[in-house]
Structure 1
Amino acid sequence: MKRYDLYAHRKYPIIIIIIICIFLIIVKLFIIQIIDKSYKLSAENNTIRKIIQYPERGWIYDRNNTLLVSNQRGHDIMISPYQVESQIDTSFFCEIFQISKSDFLRRIKQAKQYSYYKPSIFIKNIEKNKFADIQEYLYRFKGFFSQPRYIREYNTNSGGNIFGYTSLISYEELLNNKAYDRNDMIGVTGIEKVFETKLKGEKGVQRKIVDVFGKYQGDFQNGKYDTLPKKGQDIKITIDIILQEYAEKLMSNKRGSIVAIEPESGEILCLLSSPSYSPKMFIGKNRSKNFRDLFIHPGKPLYDRSTSALYPPGSIFKLLNALIGLQEKKINPEQLIKCNLGWNYKSRLNIGCHEHKSPLNLNQAIAQSCNAYFCETFIKIIQDSPSKNLDKWKNYIESFGLNQTFQNDLYNEKKGFIPNAKYYDNLYGKKRWGAPTCVSLAIGQDAILMTPIQMANLTATIANKGFYRIPHIVKQDSLVEKMKCLIDSNYFEPVIYGMVNAIEDQYGTAKLGVINDLEIGGKTGTAQNPHGSDHSVFIAFAPISKPKIAIAVFVENGGWGSEMAVPIGSLCIEKYLLKNIQRKKLEDRMIKTKINY
């Protein structure tokens, strides 16, 4: 029997395989040379320079359409390390670009570490007028070229904490943002960070032919492969820049914060943190030095006190305890409570009070800020079942937006702190504490901590008689949702009446806040400070009939609330509502007052 030879016809499969391989090679060559242009562009990289066309970031306007932040044309100096000549005139280069030789060598090293062939930024953000002086010399330095970029331009020296700043994207952010590359700018703080996706725009690309010296010879294929950048979206913020600048002027040489809100809408009119800084400090060649100076400044200007600083509220907190006492029917507006220069508990605990007539009703107690009245009110609210009632009390407090962040468009907001029964259980043990233990909560001390924006929002809630809208800093197309507190609206009238008398009554603690032809409701606070002089606090709103502004002022180490915070707060109200200041002497005194820290 004849055996079948498996290898007799093997040449045919081999021929077929060879034909298929040749066919695939021809197809690939066709794709490379005819269809896919990327290989051609890559081969031409030695003569064609790809220039990123950076978009304009969106402009920022205030509530009155005043332009606050725009852009100016600037340039980055780029480097391609493989093109840099070994015999470069380093001294001349450093003279032109005003950098030291050590800085030059350090930047060269960094560029090579990144990539020997890919361009990277060597000097960033050269302003237009300065670039004009160096442009004519740039061709002498092979491997260096300019790349246009927009630089932020500010029309105000105020609002550094509001706008924030932009910077080159960090390595960590680059890992989480695939749409960016290492030469891109990104918002780091403030509005620039929160609204980065709206403001940044979209990049374009331009390809130019260059000669061996790096000089441009024209567009590559008449711009066939170029794309145009797309400008970022403009933003209108709720800030009144005139009020913001005025508040900053009043708070010069002082530390603290001023926050003002439009009660009906929740729009933030002023968001001041003092000491402040000019946003212009973060543009130009000195930005690194300026950042370092601000970072080590003892007043911590980079720390946004308006949203992040946690302060004891002091006597402004008495208004909340009055409202809870009324809601729980533990007090009534006409009820009289005695004050013997303070509140005493079995001769073992004493909370002092300033001298005033006694007994007082609710209106008088608010106007004259009587500690004894509100300590007694708090005891009545809590004493029957301290653990249960303190948690109920906390629920009332939180309904005013305290002990939480607003989840809004503000950057780096802190939630504050309101203690509950568990807090005191951990501190003293279960059933080992009672109402007198935490009676300091009655006057805004003990463990209570609030941010200035929470204080302003509390004021807006009282002005609205029981509701607030989430405070926000960017204009919305419609009103944001109402947030109602747990206090019935009818209980706000007697409290507001007391706030008016704090301003207008001869014994009121906020008498310096009187403004002719304008009815204001306010409450002073003096927050105890174990590290120095007490803090000065004031909240107010106006006009009473239809509130347009609710304000909170906190001056660190400012002493009595009536001493510093009241004049500053009332002047801000006067500036916003009346536009002109009538009390020039008071204004001048506040501007010139300096607190030594």
Structure 2
Amino acid sequence: MRKALLYLLVLITGLLFLGRLFYLQIIDDSFKQQSESNAYKKEYNYPERGHIYDRNGKLLVANQRSYDFMAIPRNVKPFDTLELCELLNITPEKLNKQLHKAKVYSPRLPSPIVSQLSKIEHARLQEKIRKFKGFYIQKRSARHYQTTIGANVLGYIAEVNPKKVKENPYYQPGDLEGKTGIEKSYEEQLRGIKGVRYIQKDRFNRDIGAYQGGRLDTLPINGKDINITIDAVLQEYGERLMNNKRGGIVAIEPNTGEILALVSAPSYNPALMVGRQRSKNFTKFYLDTIARPLFDRGLQATYPPGSPFKLLNALIGLEEGVITPQTRFTCRHGFKYSRTRNMGCHCSYGASNDLNKGIFASCNAYFGNTYKKTIDKYGNATNGIKHWSDHVKSFGLGNYLGYDLSIGSKGNVPDTTFYNKWYGKNKWFTTYTISNAIGQGEILTTPIQLANMTAAIANRGYYYTPHIIKNIANDTIPKKFTSKKITTISKENFEPVIQGMFNVYEQPGGTGYYSRIKGIEICGKTGTAEVYGKINGERKQLTDHSIFVAFAPKDNPKIAMAVFVEHGYWGGRWAAPMASLMIEKYLRGSISRNDLETKMLNGSLQEEYDKYISGEEFTINK
């Protein structure tokens, strides 16, 4: 028995050795690669990154020649450190740090010492590169921006981090990849495929020609050109309107979901993210915690939607059958929902409002009653909120929309789970959530979500996932961007709400009446969202946000949009006029109300923002 066990042990050990030998010789080629690496070196030939065009074919991003100063650590011979540092315009400490980093990565493989040399630095080095053994210059292409707009949309490229190099064999130290915006979302399409040249070396490590006669060499394949959905003219106009203001503007083509403009203010010139100053500029922007130019307010900022959210409550009320277009509620300067609590309103005391007037006059009493009837229909707030939140979420609110940019915020649509966690299971009532009636309280949305909601209303009940890609050379865009998303609201219930939106502009007393544009049927809804913050350590109410959503024309709409202007007082002061100008600019290509345009372009809220920086107390005047 022992003898048999001994034979079995020897047999198993032999099989293990044979298996390991088979793996090392047949499957694992790392030792072969290491041996061969002593016989040749690889040089990469970098492809041109794909160009980026707007929806109309205007070139936004091209390429320019760039150079990286590379080193193969084990080939580096003693050199004049001070001379090289002077040529590279870096300190000896920086040079030693980069050389150490390169050696840690691999003594045999090339690593970047200084990336993106200027043409002058490259010319100086070319004359003296022979003096620095083990170093060489690698040609690349860097981005060349043909525009000063859309930094948040276009994004930028930068050096890959060590983690990415380990995870993805395509990348080598010093390679560039898209970090934000379109550059990141469509990195694989834009980057192309590197070419490789194998160079034979002799026993003295000298280059002696092509390895294996060049049979293994490959040529680079340039990246694919792409067209994005942005209209460069509209984007530039939106950025000008938002000068000296903070907030976001998002415009969408309703019948496709294509994003026409994605404005975030304040922004920066995308060219500042190119070259050796990129790191310095990025640090400057990153540390600016006041203006936050790297924060995309169109996609990431969450705000209370304010009165535009009343449109959804109207649609839900109609769908649930708790109101009709003829239903009237009396407004006594607001909606009183307890003995001591009242949701104030600007309507005349005793006004009897139907749905149409409730929308264009933005009556809080009308929507307070509508919301309460909707929730109470199901017997208790727990069941009512569930049905209500399902309707709201069908418009894309409360979740990531699935668009093709890599950043965003979910916002918040409170549901039964939310309130049970907040107040305790079944320990809350409809009046606890009454702020939802007017888009305040726990509701939070991003500008792109509100723009998408408006597109769904313009389409009478459906939307397409918003997206930034229009065309990829020799490729197709994902199917999810061409599939309809259907809301829970019946098509017939949209018409009375749309008529109310139309009267916001056209009806005297409508909150957008003074921003109307002759000859264009605009449907919109103003909003004034309350906001709170800390000043000198105390929680205080700050100046309200100015909000507006709109689409045009009323029939067969071509553009839907949302405008948020932080601390812009009220919806009709900044957001509504800016939206009407954007719509006219897109539909007509010119502006008829030059007085309104001048006022919006030259207007500034910087003094308002400076108050928060200084911590001064202030009074909100509406």
Give CA-to-partner distance per residue, 1:319-349, whole Å, 9 cap, x none.
Answer: 0011111112211212221111111124221
Give CA-to-partner distance per residue, 1:330-383, whole Å, 9 cap, x none.
Answer: 112122211111111242211111244712111111111111110011111112
**Residue 301 (structure 1) aligned with residue 300 (structure 2):** no
**Residue 464 (structure 1) aligned with residue 456 (structure 2):** no
For 1:549, the equivalent position in structure 2 comes to: 559
Q: TM-score, normalised by structure 1?
A: 0.88
Local SS of the residue matching 1:307: coil
**Residue 344 (structure 1) aligned with residue 336 (structure 2):** yes
Local SS of the residue matching 2:352: coil
Letter in 2 for 1:582: S
> Could you tell me which of 100, 114, 117 is aligned with 1:123?
114
**Residue 370 (structure 1) aligned with residue 372 (structure 2):** no
Distance 1:341 1:101 in 2: 73
> Could you tell me which of 422, 437, 440 is aligned with 1:442?
437
**Residue 152 (structure 1) aligned with residue 154 (structure 2):** no
Q: Is the 8 A contact 2:464 2:483 kept in 1?
A: yes
Q: Is the 8 A contact 1:261 1:268 kept in 2?
A: yes
Q: Is the 8 A contact 1:512 1:566 kept in 2?
A: no
Superposition map of 1:506-521 within 5 A: 506-521=508-523
Letter in 1 for 2:499: Y
**Residue 535 (structure 1) aligned with residue 526 (structure 2):** no
**Shift, 1:519, TM fit:** 0.8
Identity of aligned residues (%): 45
Distance 1:409 1:39 in 2: 41
Distance 1:160 1:566 in 2: 25
Q: Is the 8 A contact 2:375 2:384 kept in 1?
A: yes
For 1:275, the equivalent position in structure 2 comes to: 266
Superposition map of 1:55-70 within 5 A: 55-70=47-62
For 1:187, the equivalent position in structure 2 comes to: 178
For the pair shown, which has the larger CA radius of gyration, 1 or 2? Answer: 1
Superposition map of 1:101-250 within 5 A: 101-128=92-119, 130-207=121-198, 223-250=214-241
Deviates more, 1:237-246 or 1:382-391: 382-391
For 2:485, the equivalent position in structure 1 comes to: 483
Local SS of the residue matching 2:285: helix
**Residues 255, 71 of structure 1: CA spacing in aligned structure 2 closer, same or farther, 3 A cutoff?**
same
Letter in 2 for 1:482: K
Q: Is the 8 A contact 1:307 1:451 kept in 2?
A: yes
Q: Which runs of 5+ in 1 are unaligned?
A: 1-27, 29-35
Q: Which runs of 5+ in 2 are unaligned?
A: 1-24, 26-30, 534-541, 610-622
Distance 1:564 1:279 in 2: 27
Letter in 2 for 1:511: Y
Deviates more, 1:76-85 or 1:315-324: 76-85
Superposition map of 1:281-296 within 5 A: 281-296=272-287
Give CA-to-partner distance per residue, 1:163-222, whole Å, 9 cap, x none.
Answer: 222222212223322332233222222222222222221111234689999999976787
**Residues 133, 513 of structure 1: CA spacing in aligned structure 2 closer, same or farther, 3 A cutoff?**
farther
For 2:590, the equivalent position in structure 1 comes to: 580
Give CA-to-partner distance per residue, 1:477-513, whole Å, 9 cap, x none.
Answer: 5871111111111111111111111112221111232
**Residues 490, 289 of structure 1: CA spacing in aligned structure 2 closer, same or farther, 3 A cutoff?**
same
**Shift, 1:392, TM fit:** 0.6
Distance 2:191 2:447 in 1: 30
Give me the CA root mean square deviation: 2.6
Distance 1:154 1:260 in 2: 23
**Shift, 1:516, TM fit:** 1.8
Q: Is the 8 A contact 2:548 2:576 kept in 1?
A: yes
**Shift, 1:446, TM fit:** 1.0
For 1:407, the equivalent position in structure 2 comes to: 402
Letter in 2 for 1:437: Y
Local SS of the residue matching 1:529: strand
For 2:573, the equivalent position in structure 1 comes to: 563
Distance 2:217 2:417 in 1: 64
For 1:451, the equivalent position in structure 2 comes to: 446
Local SS of the residue matching 2:251: strand
Local SS of the residue matching 1:406: coil
Distance 1:302 1:211 in 2: 51
Q: Is the 8 A contact 1:261 1:460 kept in 2?
A: yes
Distance 1:178 1:103 in 2: 27
Letter in 2 for 1:169: V
**Residues 39, 100 of structure 1: CA spacing in aligned structure 2 closer, same or farther, 3 A cutoff?**
closer
Local SS of the residue matching 2:183: helix
Local SS of the residue matching 2:551: strand
Letter in 2 for 1:259: V
Letter in 1 for 2:319: Q
For 1:3, the equivalent position in structure 2 comes to: none
Local SS of the residue matching 1:303: coil
Distance 1:250 1:503 in 2: 20
**Residue 330 (structure 1) aligned with residue 322 (structure 2):** yes
Distance 1:116 1:127 in 2: 27
**Shift, 1:83, TM fit:** 3.5
**Shift, 1:44, TM fit:** 4.5
Letter in 1 for 2:324: N
For 1:433, the equivalent position in structure 2 comes to: 428
Deviates more, 1:89-98 or 1:539-548: 89-98
Q: Is the 8 A contact 2:87 2:121 kept in 1?
A: no
> Could you tell me which of 410, 414, 419 is aligned with 1:419?
414
Give CA-to-partner distance per residue, 1:367-404, whole Å, 9 cap, x none.
Answer: 11111110011111112422111111111111111112
Distance 2:524 2:124 in 1: 57
Superposition map of 1:374-385 within 5 A: 374-384=367-377, 385=379
**Shift, 1:128, TM fit:** 4.4
Letter in 2 for 1:583: R
**Shift, 1:132, TM fit:** 3.2
Give CA-to-partner distance per residue, 1:82-113, whole Å, 9 cap, x none.
Answer: 33343x33333222222223322322332233
Local SS of the residue matching 1:268: strand
Distance 1:526 1:165 in 2: 35
